[in-house]
Amino acid sequence: MPETKPVLMQGNEACAEGAISAGVRFYAGYPITPSTEVAERMAARLPDIGGVFIQMEDEIASMAAIIGASIGGMRAITATSGPGFSLKQENIGYAIMAEIPCVIVDVQRMGPSTGVPTAPSQGDVMQARWGTHGDHPIIVFSPASVYETYYLTIAAVNLSQKLRQPVILLLDEVIGHMREKVTIPRDSRLMVEKSSDKVPADYKPYDEKGLTPLVPFGFGHYYHVTGLFHDQYGFPTGDPPQVERSLDRVHEKLEKYRDEVVLTNYIGHKEPRVVIVTYGCTVRSARAVVKKAYWNNREPVGLLSLQTLWPFPDKEVREIAKKADVIIVPEMNMGQIVSEVERHVKGEAEVVPLNRYDGEMISPDQISDIMGRWLS
Amino acid sequence: MPHIWCPGCGNGIVTAALVRAIERADYDQRDVVIVSGIGCSSRAAGYLNFNTLHTTHGRALAFATGLKMARPELKLFVIMGDGDCSAIGGNHFIHSARRNIDLNAIVVNNHIYGMTGGQHSPLTPTGKKATTAPRGTLEREFNLLDLARGAGATFGARGNAAQPRQLEQLITRAANHKGFSLVEALSPCPIAYGRRNKLGGPVDMLKELKESSISIERATSKEETELEGKTITGVIYQDEVPEYAAEYYRSIGKEIPVKSGG
Ligand SMILES: Cc1ncc(C[n+]2csc(CCOP(=O)(O)OP(=O)(O)O)c2C)c(N)n1
Ligand code: SF4
């Protein structure tokens, strides 16, 4: 095990540190509350470790710049919040189609529009899923603590490299700005998962196998990168079978690695009657409730926290629905992940939404009130 | 080789000039990157045997900025249409110029949105017709070289598809310049622009381009009245100012690998 040292830091800073531990050496971004500390940390740290920090003219450019850097072989990340996340969408779709690894951090704030810049929210869950046009796959993580932010950022970077797929980290204002202890391994090189660099002479970046590593520009392999549907070398095609193949390809790799991508955590009773399914900062209130009800009072309750929001943890939620009578889904929005839960539960359990969108966190009391009603 | 361009389009001529200029600069093929936006002219990237990156509409310079900062030893040529560069991409254009990052922007100016069938662009001359300006546009056009210079560009040149040798030389000089370089290449789009504005066929358009142009060397000895209606070609400005990527790497104490060629 590497040596470790516990440090007190903010979620946003932990995100920056996680990225650095995972080998990220390129940051491009545009300031926006409540994400700015990610940029500031990167601006302070990257020059010392031979990395590149650049403040771009807007979020569209930031997204473009990290894709460009990634094609050059640097691990790259950008961070923003709602309004900037909206601007990045077209180029996120580009990265999906062209299969360029990159990580996008969205520290959610109240929206729509300029909203309440300093108030927490979980309103971008569906935007993260469907923000860019077309029938695309996406990976979205949502950490519930500073510690989880650090490790999920590392996972995001490595998965994005391995699957050549953008990964979105959906933080919220609470997690982004709260301070907690994180244990950072001293030898952070251990956190970098190397992708294979064995490449055949006739390199096809979009070949049939599906998980060919990206050979960066400048090493004598000539191929084309485009957002147009393309053949195995990346050249544009409008040929229907190849078009269909192009889209299947980006979906198949996620299906194949589904279990590596979908991360959840269950705590509580083995035979629960009421289970809370939630994510992000709301997990914190839910955990407080379950700790009291299960650990202190042995009530038949549990908590399934979703570190991965997309692809949606369908199997995990269905397993819960087989046991539980009731699934409570608290979210700081008007109900986004709850419809997904309902869709997969297929009536096997009662699904109860709990929504709050006044810029305040959902409190443990709010959750235990509802839970109590179903337990009595 | 199959391509999407109409007969008589200037895109092929400009692309050929670019390829000859790269050859002349004697770069290692593996170091050369062609970045482009979206439009007829931007499809050139897909026809060239280098590292080629066809991006999103207007964003080519922003992708190129990321790549150049990650790999400052690479030689980047960024092909854009007039709309791509100066309308949707205007912000990235002025900021690339301001940073003085070593990118070679080749803007194929056909005064129109070709790919989408002839809508007016910020480089459509006032009064000229477009599908979205059927009575002639009332808008004023940018002077692209002035715009770039105002934003801080350190190299600005103008050539045209009717004088490909000169264009090739201009691109070579842009490539040799350390900093943001702009080469505006005036180019005929007989289909989406020429026809609607009764400018004749491809040959007439090329002839007109040639006749209305005067090189900056010849222009300096002429009276202002003699230059009316003329388009000045050649290297219009060039200044030596620190280049951004090199400055950044110097500031962090990291060496940039030295590569062959200009
Ligand atoms: C975001 C976005 N908006 C609009 C378009 C549609 N579009 C494609 S090319 C183009 C204009 C191309 O004109 P220009 O840049 O002058 O290049 P040309 O085709 O004349 O070479 C437009 C508007 C697009 N692809 N993406
Ligand atoms: S529409 Fe115009 S610019 Fe486009 S290929 Fe045809 S002639 Fe060339």
Task: State whether the beta carbon of B114 lies less than 6 angstroms from ligand 1.
Answer: yes
Average the pLDDT over each of A173-187, A192-206, B54-68, B103-117 and give the range with the smallest value.
Answer: A192-206
Three-state secondary structure call for residue A52 = strand
Cβ-count burial A29-40 (b if 16+ within 10 Å, e if not) = bbebebbbbbbb
| Residues, chain B | 262
Q: Is the pLDDT reported for residue B101 higher than 60?
A: yes
Write the residue with the smallest CA distance to atom 4 of ligand 1: B57
- Specify the pLDDT at position A211: 84
Domains of chain A: 7-191 (3.40.50.970), 263-375 (3.40.50.920)
Cβ A94–B50 below 8 Å, yes or no? no
Residue bearing tokens 């358009």 = B205
Write the residue with the smallest CA distance to atom 9 of ligand 1: B39
Report the separation in Å between the CA atom of B142 and the middle of ligand 2, taken as the mean of its atom positions. 21
The reported pTM is 0.97
A vs B: CB pairs below 8 A: 128
Task: State whether the beta carbon of B148 lies less than 6 angstroms from ligand 1.
Answer: no
* A128-166 per-position pLDDT tens digit: 999 999 999 999 999 999 999 999 999 999 999 999 999
- Specify the pLDDT at position A197: 59
- List of E strands, chain A: 4-10, 24-29, 52-55, 75-80, 102-108, 139-141, 166-172, 179-185, 224-226, 264-268, 274-278, 301-306, 308-310, 326-331, 350-355
Mean pLDDT of chain B: 97
CA distance A266 to A361: 22
Task: State whether the beta carbon of B110 lies less than 6 angstroms from ligand 1.
Answer: yes
Average of pLDDT values for A200-207? 90
**B145: contact with A, CB 8 A cutoff:** no
The distance in angstroms from the start CA to the end CA of chain A is: 47
Contact status, residue A361 vs residue A281, Cβ threshold 8 Å? yes
When pLDDT is cut at 50, 70 and 90, the band that residue A264 belongs to is: very high
Q: Is the pLDDT reported for residue B54 higher than 80?
A: yes
By C-alpha distance, which of B6, B4, B2 is closest to B188? Answer: B6
Q: Is the pLDDT reported for residue B174 higher than 50?
A: yes
Contact status, residue A141 vs residue A253, Cβ threshold 8 Å? no
Q: Is the pLDDT reported for residue A2 higher than 60?
A: no
- Specify the pLDDT at position B177: 98
Tell me the two tokens of residue A18.
């996680």
User: Nearest residue of A to residue B66 by CA position?
Assistant: A65
Q: Which ligand is nearest to the CA of B41?
A: 1
Report the separation in Å between the CA atom of B116 and the middle of ligand 1, taken as the mean of its atom positions. 6
Residue bearing tokens 């797929």 = A165
Tell me the two tokens of residue A245.
């193949």
Average of pLDDT values for B74-83? 98
Which of residues B27 and B2 earns the better pLDDT score? Answer: B27
Contact status, residue A131 vs residue A336, Cβ threshold 8 Å? no
Average of pLDDT values for A26-38? 98
User: Nearest residue of A to residue B71 by CA position?
Assistant: A72
- Specify the pLDDT at position B259: 83
Best mutation target among B31, B33, B50, B65 (most A Cβ atoms within 10 Å) is: B65
**B259: contact with A, CB 8 A cutoff:** no
* A265-300 per-position pLDDT tens digit: 999 999 999 999 999 999 999 999 999 999 999 999
Three-state secondary structure call for residue A38 = helix
Mean pLDDT of chain A: 95
Count the Cβ atoms, other than its own, within 10 Å of residue A216: 18
Best mutation target among B47, B252, B256, B259 (most A Cβ atoms within 10 Å) is: B252
**B62: contact with A, CB 8 A cutoff:** yes
Q: Is the pLDDT reported for residue A190 higher than 90?
A: no
Question: Which residue out of B57, B80, B106, B186 has the highest number of ligand 1 atoms within 8 Å of its CB and is therefore the one to mutate?
Answer: B57
Q: Is the pLDDT reported for residue A1 higher than 50?
A: no
Cβ A72–B67 below 8 Å, yes or no? yes
What residues of chain B lie within 8 A of the CB of A220, using their CB?
29-30
Average the pLDDT over each of A62-71, A98-107, A182-191, A261-270 and give the range with the smallest value.
Answer: A182-191
Answer yes or no: is the ipTM higher than 0.90: yes
Average of pLDDT values for A75-85? 98
Strands A4-10 vs A179-185: parallel, antiparallel or unpaired = antiparallel
Report the separation in Å between the CA atom of B113 and the middle of ligand 1, taken as the mean of its atom positions. 6
Tell me the two tokens of residue A345.
């539960």
Average the pLDDT over each of A15-24, A183-192, A250-259 and give the range with the smallest value.
Answer: A183-192
The CA–CA distances, whole Å, from B206 to A330, B66, B236 equal 67, 36, 22
Contacts of A333 (CB under 8 A, 6+ apart): A121, A122, A123, A125, A355, A357
